Structure 1
Amino acid sequence: MSKPTYSDIARLAEVGPATVERVLNGRGGVRQETAEKVILAARKLDWPGRLPERHMGILRLEVILVRPDSSFFARLANAFRRIAASLDPAIQVHLTFMDEDCPDDIVRRIESPQLHRSGLVIAAPGNRRIREALQMAHGQGLPIVQVVTRNIDGAPFVGIDNLAAGRMAGRMVSRLNWAQGSVVALCHSQIYQVHRDRIAGFSDYMFSNPRPGLVFQEVLFGRDEDDTSAVQVAAALKTWPDLVAIYNCGGGNPGALQALERAGRDIFFVGHELNDLTGRALSRGTADVILDQLPEAQARRATDLLLHQIGLTSDPVDNPPIRFTTIMAETL
C-alpha cells in the first residue's frame, strides 16, 4: 500500500491538511482533542512515521479503581501498570484510586477529569449518581470499559461469571463438606452487583440442591474489612453453634480466617482471591477452596477492549466471561 497523504488523514480525522501537517511535524498550535483525532486517523491508515516528541503521550487512558487495601484491586492495579509499560509511548495510562464511600468524588472525576482522556476503565460501586455520570459520559462518546462490577448497559463489562462462581461455591459447600449444620455467607454489602450475583448463585445452588442436615442461614456483611469480617465470623460462631461452613464472596479474608483460627473450629471455608495469605490458609487447612478471578486477565482484556473502541486496534476483541480458577491445597 502507498503511504497515506496528509489529505487522506485529514479526511478521516475531519480536519484540514494543514492541521495534519502541524500535528505530524510536531509544530504545536493544535487543540489536544483535535491532535488526538489526527493521531488516531494516522494510525488507522498505517502512517509510517514516528510521532514527534510534542505529542508523546497524547492518548491518555484513565483507570479508576477502589480499595487499594484489597489484594484483588492491588493485583489489578499492578497488572494495569505492567500493561502501561508495554504500550506505545504515545499511550499513557493514568491510574487513580477513589474512595468507594465517597461516590460524589467519583462522580466529579467522571464528569471533570484532571486531564483530557481518550478512554476510561472503571470499577465503582453501584450508585445512582455514578450510573448517571457514566451514562452521560458514554452518551457523549467517551469509550468506557467496566471491570469487576457493571453499572451501565452499552459499555463493555469485563469480569467473571459471578452467578457461576456463587453456584460453584454452593456446590463445594454442599458436596465437599462432610458435616451437617448451619451455613452462612459473608460479603461486602449491597453496593456491588458482583456480590449480589455471587450470593444469588450460592443461594440458588443451596436451595435447588438441598442436602439433608445442611441449612443456609444468613448473609452477613463485612464490607470487605478485616476487622468487621472477623467480628461477623466470631458472632456467627456464637449464633449458630452448629456452624459448619462459610462462603466469603468478597474481601476481608484475613479477618475471617483469623477468627476461625482463634475459634479452633473445623469450619469448611470457601473464599475468593488467591494470595499469600489464602495460600497459607489452604495449606494449613483453615481454608478449603479459593476461587481466583484472575485480575491480570481482566486488566489485559479491559485494555484491549478500550484500545479497540478508541480505534487503535482493528481486530474485534472477544469478551466472554473471564474464567475463574478453583484452587485447593492439593492444587497449590
Structure 2
Amino acid sequence: MYGLVTAVRDLSLSVRRGEFLTILGPSGSGKTTALMMLAGFEAPSEGDILIAGKSVAAVPSYGRDQGIVFQSYALFPHLTVRQNLEFPLEMRGMKAAERATRVHSMLERVHLADFGGRMPSQLSGGQQQRVALARALIADSPVLLLDEPLGALDRNLREQMQSEIKSLHKEFGKTTICVTHDQEEALTLSDRIVVMRAGRIEQCDTPEALYDRPATRFVANFLGEANFLDDPVFVSGDERAGAPESLPMVRPERVRIASTAAASLDNADRRQIVTGSVEEMIYAGPLRKYRVRVGNTVLFVREHVASGQQVFTPGDEVRLDWLRADVRSVKA
C-alpha cells in the first residue's frame, strides 16, 4: 500500500521454473509494484513471496539471488563495459582470472566483444541494453527480472532486442519475469502473460489464448483492437437472452471487406454478413485498416495488402463478413 492507496491486491501467482512470464497492464494497474516486491525494493503489506519454496519477503534486494534489468539500464557510468560486467562477479568473491574469462565469454555472446573498454556513454541504446542484459545474466542467478526493458528503444531496435531476449532466454533457461505495457512485446516474448487491472489479475494465460479467447472486454481491448457485436443488427434477441452478461466479439483481422456488388458467398450460412459505409482507410505498410459504420456501430477491419486488391475509400458502401465460429464471448 502507498498511504491509503492499495497498489496491488489479492495477487496470487506461481511462476514455473524456466518460464518467461510477462506482467502486462496500463499505467496504474499495479504491474511495476508487483515487480518491485519481487525485486525486494518494496515490501508487501501482507502475504509472502517464495523463491524455490523459501520465503524472501523479508530479504533485502541485495540478498536475493536474481538479476535485474531496468528500463534506464542503470549501468555504472564511471565504469567501462567490462567493469560493469565484472561488478556482480566481484561482489560474489570470484577470482580475477575467472571473472575475466566469464566476462569475455558473455561479451562475445551479446556481440560486444570489441566494446569491453568503452564507457556506457559511448554506446548506442541497443548496445547499452545488451550490456544490461549481460550484467544481469553473468552471475548465473536463477531468476531474471525485466522492468520495461525495451521502452527506451525505437521500433526497429525493439524488434531486434525482442529476438535477442528470446534467444538468450532459450539459451540460459532463466526463470524470467518481465513487466511491460507493450502488448506486442508481451505477445512476442512470453510463455504466459498476466494481464493486470486496478491492482488485480484480470486474466493469465498463453499469448495465443489471451488474444484469441479473452475473458473480459478489458482484456480484449487491451490486447489489440476488438469489434463488439452487441448492436441488434449483429445478434438476434434470442441469442442474447441466454447470456445477458456476455458480449460477442470478433477481431478485425477475422473480418473480410468487399464491394456490395461482389459475388455471393459460397458458405453464407456459416458467416455473419452485414453492409456498411467506409468512414476511414489507413494505409499502414503491410496492412490496410478500415473503419466501417454499420448501423450505430463502427467496426474495424484489418487486411494484408496484396496486388490487385480492391481499395475502398470513405463513403464507399461495402459488405463485411466473418465466420460465426470466429466470434468469441467475453464478460461485458
**Under a length normalisation based on structure 2, what TM-score does the superposition of the two structures give?**
0.26
In terms of fraction of residues, the more helix-rich structure is 1
In terms of fraction of residues, the more strand-rich structure is 2
Query: Which fold has the larger relative contact order, with Cα–Cα distance below 8 Å and residues 6 or more apart in sequence?
Result: 2
